[in-house]
Amino acid sequence: MNKPRAALGPPHHHHYGSTPCTRTHQIGALLVVVTTFFLTRLFDHSFAPCSSSTIAAIGRGGAYESAVARFDGGGGSLAWPHRGYGTRLSLRIYVYEEDEVDGLKALLSGRDGRISPESCVKGQWGSQVKIHRLFLESKFRTRKKEEADLFFVPAYVKCVRMMGGLNDKEINQTYVKVLSQMPYFRLSGGRNHIFVFPSGAGAHLFQSWATYINRSIILTPEGDRTDKRDSSAFNTWKDIIIPGNVDDKMTSDAVVRPLPLRKRKYLANYLGRAQNKVGRLRLMELAKQYPEKLECPELKFKGPDKLGRLEYFEHLRNAKFCLAPRGESSWTLRFYEAFFVECVPVLLSDQVELPFQNVIDYKKISIKWPSSRIGPELLEYLESIPDESIEEMIANGRQVRCLWVYAPESNPCSATNAILWELQRKVRYFHQSTETFWLHNGSVVNRDLIEFSKWRPPMPLP
């Protein structure tokens, strides 16, 4: 049966007043497309994060590399790469208060509350205090849990343990108690919660870390511990390596003045204790064979022969290369200190992990040498490097060392900003856990179908 003519629409040869598409129209349209393309490219270059005056000091080659951080000539201004980060920092971090969670205060000041932040802020592990303070003052801090992208759990457990405030068993029990008081930790399975473990032990300070925070974001200078334990608490894909806490006096140019290469007495040095570690013992034997090339006194931390901080800095700056062997763990503070006396660090730690590897090419600022080949061969190699190459590495290190300083985020090049950029990559829009479920109306419930707003601590943990 034929359809009525009206249902078929108008015949194709009817134009109903439309203008025919002539060759002139086609050429005009092409010109519009080409002009739009070139204007778009022009605006892209005009608003690129790095101007022509920016120096790509630490990048992986090329005049412009979008995957590498770039610094200005003074090391004060930093442009983070867009790839994987976004064009600007956009974070909301909730910082738990010590009184809002039962047990958290003990992780900060010990069972009796007698350990102060001031007593914990100095030394190798001071980053646990500095990061907490910086997040409290951050413009990215939110006081509303419901709008937070990430949650920061402050704890000074390394310091508290060293000062007798909590023992290992108490630390473990207190962490479990604290986590059971946090509904948002339960909601995400800990995926959006941040913990700082600033020592060589890493997250192993919390003995049950693998059960409770194995999905959380861990900030630590320590990467691999598999040489001493069955597994490492560090996971490249979720955790962040942070710099060690360099003495504030050392980061000030007014206190530590680098020496010109020609005035440095030694080719290399190692300033540290032997601790019965193979690599360190080899260095000390090597120094006995070549005392004119390698300074390697065993530091005393007590008594009349103890080296003061200023004396330590003066010794460290008196060599072209600062050797950084592993100690109890793979990382060493000496690596970071070397940059502030403008001494090229030589890593003698095979398993070491380094901070901010997404944006720093460490080949341009340091040397990594196999720890199994510590001997005369190492000194021969270092001696073969021309001063021009050493000066170039020092200049590159001068650009990047601002990333080792825990300065306020108003300083565009600081460990603080670098950590914030790295955290931004960890933000997820959606979180789930084995105990999180959702219904057709968007409500989130637990296994007993109780809505999240009605969850009441303490909550059972896995």
The whole-number average pLDDT for the span 18-31 is 58
Judged by phi (left if over 0) then psi (alpha if -120 to 50, else beta), residue 254 lies in: alpha
Q: Please check the confidence at residue 190 and state whether its pLDDT lies above 90.
A: yes
Look at residue 58 and give its three-state secondary structure.
coil
Q: Please check the confidence at residue 215 and state whether its pLDDT lies above 60.
A: yes
pLDDT at position 309: 78
The whole-number average pLDDT for the span 295-310 is 74
- Would you place residue 276 in the very low, low, confident or very high pLDDT band (cuts 50, 70, 90)? confident
CA distances from 185 to 150, 198, 240, 278 (A): 10, 22, 19, 42
Parallel, antiparallel, or unpaired for β 150-152 and 294-295? unpaired
Sign of CA dihedral 360, 361, 367, 372: positive
CA distances from 91 to 138, 278, 427 (A): 10, 44, 8
Contact indicator for 10, 16 with CB cutoff of 8 Å:
yes
Parallel, antiparallel, or unpaired for β 437-438 and 266-269? unpaired
Report which of residues 454 and 75 the model is more confident about: 454
Alpha-carbon distance of 381 to 320, in angstroms, equals 13
pLDDT at position 212: 95
* Contacts for 59-68: CB closer than 8 Å, 24+ residues apart: 59/361, 60/361, 67/358, 67/359, 68/359, 68/360, 68/361
Question: Residues 94-113: pLDDT tens digits?
Answer: 999 999 999 999 999 999 99
Report which of residues 313 and 441 the model is more confident about: 441
Question: Residues 227-261: pLDDT tens digits?
Answer: 566 677 888 899 999 999 998 888 876 677 899 99
Q: Please check the confidence at residue 69 and state whether its pLDDT lies above 70.
A: no
Report which of residues 396 and 276 the model is more confident about: 396
Q: Please check the confidence at residue 380 and state whether its pLDDT lies above 50.
A: yes
Average model confidence (pLDDT) across the chain: 83
**Residue range(s) of every CATH 3.40.50.2000 domain in the chain:** 261-404
Alpha-carbon distance of 365 to 346, in angstroms, equals 10
Alpha-carbon distance of 214 to 202, in angstroms, equals 13
Tell me yes or no: is domain 261-404 CATH 3.40.50.2000.
yes
Above pLDDT 70, what percent of the chain? 79
> Any bridge partners for residue 367, and if so which?
346
Report which of residues 312 and 73 the model is more confident about: 312
pLDDT at position 62: 36
What residues contact 310, with CB distance under 8 A and at least 6 apart?
A: 249, 255
The whole-number average pLDDT for the span 62-69 is 41
